[in-house]
Structure 1
């Protein structure tokens, strides 16, 4: 099914001329100690309505790239833009507000607050921003197939259901971009496919932008494009990636495959 979804937003953008970048990295480097670069100069643009998978061997810089792109870490050099906003121009308070209001996060661990109900967990980003959630959190829960579990507590849900709640929480603010760090890494294949379906739908049906770090070729094959890193350098890209081709590239790079 994912194959027939792919490309819908691309076609819309080409027809309307509204091709704007959700994320831009211009010469981004990250040096943790003198002479040791976790990221060499990275030049990358991610259009709105795009699903990008970032792959490569362990220690290649995938997580560092995500952290710099999401404003969780400051690059040593270069600039990062979310939409038209340059992150280096923001103080810590403004950067925190941008992450809360314009970025969604999905991690390998769902990070739900166990003392809050499922509905309260989804509403949390809105409430932290001083907004009344109205029914937005309930609609987000319904969109991930858990509209009847809003009153449940996280320990009552399966791991896959908790990760679907995490996807709803990431999308409830209608963010400019969603960063997903190994979102299926702790899930069985069926639950992983459910989460990937939701991310794919968020792109194709709602025009969201997703940047996903993953080691799993199956997961990356749901993306519009796979980006390959090694030793902090961007070394390749694949449009419309297929799992078999991804495995071949990762084997050449010495990476782990699922």
Structure 2
């Protein structure tokens, strides 16, 4: 059984201090007049902190992740990664920020079947033009997730949990400021999910990454330093050191709120 451990990451998402790994200031995303997927969301995520983003289906979780990661542009408000304001960047500069300073772990792993495990882990370095030490860095990333001995295998030779480990190694290989994880355990059994969450926790505690994890799972949220809750695009609650029972209570309340407003 894996033990949940937390580092001493300082500060919270609303506390001033050194330059944060990720900051959202009044972020609104409006897809058509009067319909807001995000509504004035403000967050601050320091380095060395794991944040769980939660809410009912349609609450704005995926839109928040896309705007925070530079995959979508807010209608209003500011997103900063490591102090860099994304709103002032053209598409080429935005691509460089995503490539060099952001890692992604998704439920749909997006591993390239024709590449080896090592080549998949090193893909961000290849895209960045790194050559001299690419394989060595990719191998270190694989070692950090316990898969150095599978470097020459193909993704098809790995289990689902091992493939997710490769995706985590790929997300960490550039030593990004922030890692975004979208339902990283959604397709995994509880034991394998715990292994994956332990790796994300280790990235926070041992390597100082910030991790922003979108999840529907109250048990997964227990690995976070803080859980924040969205409802109809608004940030409506937050829980420090969340436990599954607290998370379920908040989600239940949000469900009643939505039904009452309908």
Structure 2 match to 1:95: 94
1:237 pairs with 2:245: no
Distance 1:44 1:248 in 2: 22
CA deviation vs aligned residue, 1:9-48 (integer Å, no higher than 9, x gap): 339xxxxxx8431111111000000011111101111111
Match of residue 15 from structure 1: none
Q: Tell me which residue corresponds to 1:14.
A: none
* In 1: Cα distance, 2:40 partner to 2:186 partner: 28
1:62 aligns with 2:58: no
The answer to whether the Cα contact below 8 Å between 1:227 and 1:238 also exists between their aligned partners in 2 is yes
Point out 4+ residue stretches in structure 1 off by more than 4 angstroms.
none
Give SS of 2:253's match: helix
- 8 Å Cα contact 1:27-1:43 kept in structure 2: yes
Q: Which residue of 1 aligns with 2:171?
A: 170
Instruction: Tell me the SS of whatever aligns to 1:64.
Output: helix
How many Å apart are 1:99 and its aligned residue? 0.3
Do 1:121 and 1:169's aligned partners in 2 also have CA atoms closer than 8 Å? Answer: yes
Contact 2:118 2:135 in 1 (8 A): no
Q: Is the 8 A contact 2:122 2:135 kept in 1?
A: no
**1:104-143 equivalences in 2 (<5 Å):** 104-132=103-131, 133-143=134-144
Q: Where does the alignment leave 5 or more consecutive residues of structure 1 unmatched? A: 12-17
Partner of 1:115: helix, strand, or coil? Answer: coil
1:200-239 alignment runs, 5 A limit: 200-239=201-240
CA distance in 1, matches of 2:74, 2:139: 37
Residue of structure 1 equivalent to 2:6 = 6
Partner SS for 1:9:
coil
User: For residues 157-208 of structure 1, what are the alpha-carbon distances to aligned partners after superposition, in whole Å with 9 as ceiling and x for unaligned?
Assistant: 1110000000000000000100000000011111101100000000001111
Determine if contact 1:53/1:226 at 8 Å carries over to the other structure.
yes
Separation of aligned partners in 2, 1:27 and 1:199: 28
**What count of residue pairs does the alignment treat as equivalent?**
249
TM-score of the two chains, using structure 1 as the length reference: 0.93
Q: How does 1:27-106 map to 2 (within 5 A)?
A: 27-106=26-105
Aligned-partner Cα distance in 2 for 1:142–1:243 = 31
Q: Is the 8 Å Cα contact of residues 2 and 200 (structure 1) preserved in structure 2?
A: no
Deviation at 1:8, TM superposition (A): 2.5
Map 1:141-160 to 2 at 5 A: 141-160=142-161
Q: Cα RMSD between the aligned structures? A: 1.5
Q: Would you say the 8 A contact 1:51–1:223 is kept in 2? A: yes
